[in-house]
Amino acid sequence: MSISQAVARAPFSQLALLAERDSTPSATDAMLAALDLDASDPRDAGTKRDAKAEIIATYPYLDEEGTLLYRQERIEPGKDGRKKEFRLSRPDGERGWIYDLDGVRRVPYRARELTRAIANGELLYIVEGEKCVESLVAQGLVATTFVSGASGWREEYAEWFVDADVAILPDNDDPGRRYANAIQRDLVATARHVRVVELPGLGEHEDIIEWLDAGHTVKELTELVSAAEDENETDDGLGVVDGADLMPDRSHATTDEAPDVVLSTGELLDAVKAELERFVVFADDSQAIAVAAWVLHTHVFEAFDTTPYLHVSSPTKQSGKSRLFEVLALLAARAWLVIEASEAALFRTIEKKAPTLLLDEIDAAFGKDAEMMHGIRGILNAGYRKGATVPRCVGNSFEVVDFAVYCPKAFAGIGNKLPDTIVDRSIPIMLRRRSPIERRPERFRQARATADLAPLAVRLRSWGKAHTKSIGAVEADLPDGLSDRQQDAWEPLFAIAVLAGGDWPERVERAALTLHEAAEDGDLTMQLLAHAREAFDDLGDRLSSKRLLEHLVNRGDASPWVRWWGEDVERGDARLKTAAQSLARMLHPMGISPVKIRFSANETRQGYRRSDFEDAWSRYLVPTNKVGTSEHTCPRALSVSRSTESQRASDLRSSDVPTLKPEGPELDGWEGRLFEPSRPVETVPRPQRADLEQRARRDAQDGRASLPSGVPEDHSGLDDRATSSNRRVGI
């Protein structure tokens, strides 16, 4: 009887109980023997393994309740001459195993023992591989690991280690050190203590097993852990959260060193600006001035009541955003470069470290799921003001704890997907791709740049220590051209400019006015994209330039379109061309241009297609619940508000209700979608058309009309007017 056959017949609760009591390989083998199991599996049939290959050990992964979730098998020798290989499987709930982990919750190895150790305040070891875990368990220690070896760490595992005392023992190779760094950088926000312990005397690729086999003792290991630096008690930097290496905060790498040359505030600003321009091509001098002043402010932000956010954006990729953040990570105070950090990681790290948060690829974070970003949005909304906190529940008792979230923050991403409440508190830096005639920046090499900028980073730190207590008393005149929120944001930078003296106050003032004026121009482009999306939602997938302009100027809101194009649209074709050209110029930087569209057999006009806008919408706008027909939603009639019987009858006679050709509803990849009547039925794929015709005949025989796919037959969730409209048009 094979493993997959016999284990499936045994109650999984029995297997889980046995595995919980003792999950060592020898105990697993004993358990299998007691159940009359052998180590073979039908999956092995026909594979190109060595004839001597066998399952050396089976490691069960149980959750905190003792439920078996999946197992990992260690097979020696592995395929293709490898020393070993591992195979994962999960119970199928019936009579066998499924050889993938699709949809299965991932847990640490020996999760129940881990939970108990944390509750009891015991030291917990994280190693690479279940065999290493069992070696430490045999010594009376508590240890854990994760499937997939050195690449097995996942950020979600950090929640298991809240308030844990952790020692990480990496294998002696580069993958092992990356594995340890990845775990350490995520646990500093959750664990009580976390340190990486390099075992002395290990050969290449060796681990804790070889170290113990060489005669070393648990006492020696304990002494090494005690001597190791605790990341949660050091003043070092926080590193990079992008999946590669832990990059120290070089501005604090030489904490106690005095700068070889003391620079004035103005000289420091000039030096920082020069280094920024060395690696980044800014759109204009105002951007470099603002970023240089912002870097200095990160070293003294505690002296001010507010901190300005830095919002680095661009219309396209490869415009220098990430490069700018790499340079900022070398100069800003306690820089923490993050990509898609969890909410818990953010508020815990800000509470403990008060870092300069450099949140890259913010467009991906806010563009994916607005609900998931709700907690992070709260942190960012509050975190610009000194003393701001966010309440969060902590521990098994769900104690409410206020976490401080005040610290310097910078965001980088394509387009403008930040919420308005965050944008209003930000300094806008809108980068663009370098043109062929612009200078080529110096190539950024991490090691060289770190060494080159280290002396400047030391001077910045020394300057911050010298001025933190006094700079808050500096009063600066703020320009009336800035709004109240903009003045709040720029106040620390103006104070630094006053302290610098010379022409720096005038340079910072010009930069502030220039940047916000440019941002307002960019905001109009974003506003045009949003209003165009509404036009396509309301009018269909293809719009002539004239019809799009008419929709824009007739909005009846405070947008500038009626002032710009209203008179031209009203006068008709003679002036319409001017308005259409102006519209095209605004859309051209977004990669959108008008094309000739055939609206009917006798009508061809210049216009726009929804598909031409979709890339720009996905890059620059936050997704909305109201989407057009191409987004695969029920037709617009479904969202019409409830009305009285007389209003309903009048609405059904209205020309706003679409009418379809006799052939039936025209679909393009989605049932229930309404199109302009002029669109030919041939655009529907033939298999779908046949299916629709069959449905229509069946529904006609049943004496009822069919509703859009996904709408229940009792029409719950639809108002009366929507249901009546749907029946009239035959969907």
Q: Is residue 604's pLDDT more than 70?
A: yes
Mean pLDDT for the chain? 75
Q: Which residues pair with 76 in a beta bridge?
A: 54
pLDDT given at position 636: 30
Mean pLDDT value of segment 175-192: 85
Domains 111-234 and 251-501 fall in the same CATH topology: no
pLDDT tens across 617-629, in order?
887 776 665 444 3
Q: Tell me the C-alpha distance between 47 and 670, whole Å.
A: 43
pLDDT tens across 422-439, in order?
887 889 888 877 777 778
What is the dihedral angle through the alpha carbons of 64, 123, 215, 137, rounded to the nearest 10 degrees? -20
pLDDT given at position 710: 40
Is the N-terminal amide bond of 77 cis, ω within 30° of 0?
Answer: yes
Q: Is residue 607's pLDDT more than 90?
A: yes
Q: Is residue 447's pLDDT more than 90?
A: no
Q: Is residue 239's pLDDT more than 60?
A: no
pLDDT tens across 661-672, in order?
333 333 333 333
pLDDT given at position 395: 73
Lay out the sheet containing 97-98: strands in order across: 54-62, 68-76, 85-91, 97-98
Ranges 178-187, 222-231, 615-624, 660-669: which has the least confidence:
660-669
Mean pLDDT value of segment 680-704: 46
pLDDT band at 446 (very low <50, low <70, confident <90, very high): confident
Q: Is residue 257's pLDDT more than 60?
A: no
pTM value is 0.47
- Sign of the torsion formed by the C-alpha atoms of 460, 465, 466 and 470: positive
Mean pLDDT value of segment 704-722: 39
Q: Is residue 462's pLDDT more than 70?
A: yes
Q: Is residue 637's pLDDT more than 50?
A: no
pLDDT given at position 34: 52
pLDDT tens across 93-146, in order?
887 889 988 889 999 999 999 999 998 889 999 999 999 999 999 999 999 999
Q: Is residue 393's pLDDT more than 90?
A: no
pLDDT given at position 641: 33
Tokens 């010594």 — which residue?
Answer: 139
pLDDT tens across 466-518, in order?
888 889 888 888 888 888 888 888 999 999 999 999 999 999 999 998 888 75
DSSP string, 370-388: TTTTHHHHHHHHHTTBTT-
pLDDT band at 673 (very low <50, low <70, confident <90, very high): very low
Q: Is residue 75's pLDDT more than 70?
A: yes
Domain boundaries, given as residue ranges, for the chain: 3-98, 111-234, 251-501, 523-631, 636-729
pLDDT tens across 375-386, in order?
788 888 888 899
Instruction: Compute the radius of gyration of the chain from its Cα atoms.
Output: 32
pLDDT given at position 370: 54
pLDDT given at position 28: 53
Percent of the chain residues topping a pLDDT of 90: 28
Q: What is the CATH number of domain 111-234?
A: 3.40.1360.10
Q: Which CATH superfamily is domain 251-501 in?
A: P-loop containing nucleotide triphosphate hydrolases (3.40.50.300)
pLDDT band at 396 (very low <50, low <70, confident <90, very high): confident
pLDDT given at position 683: 38
pLDDT given at position 600: 87
Q: Is residue 332's pLDDT more than 90?
A: yes
Query: What is the token pair recorded at 139?
Result: 């010594």
Q: Tell me the C-alpha distance between 495 and 500, whole Å.
A: 9
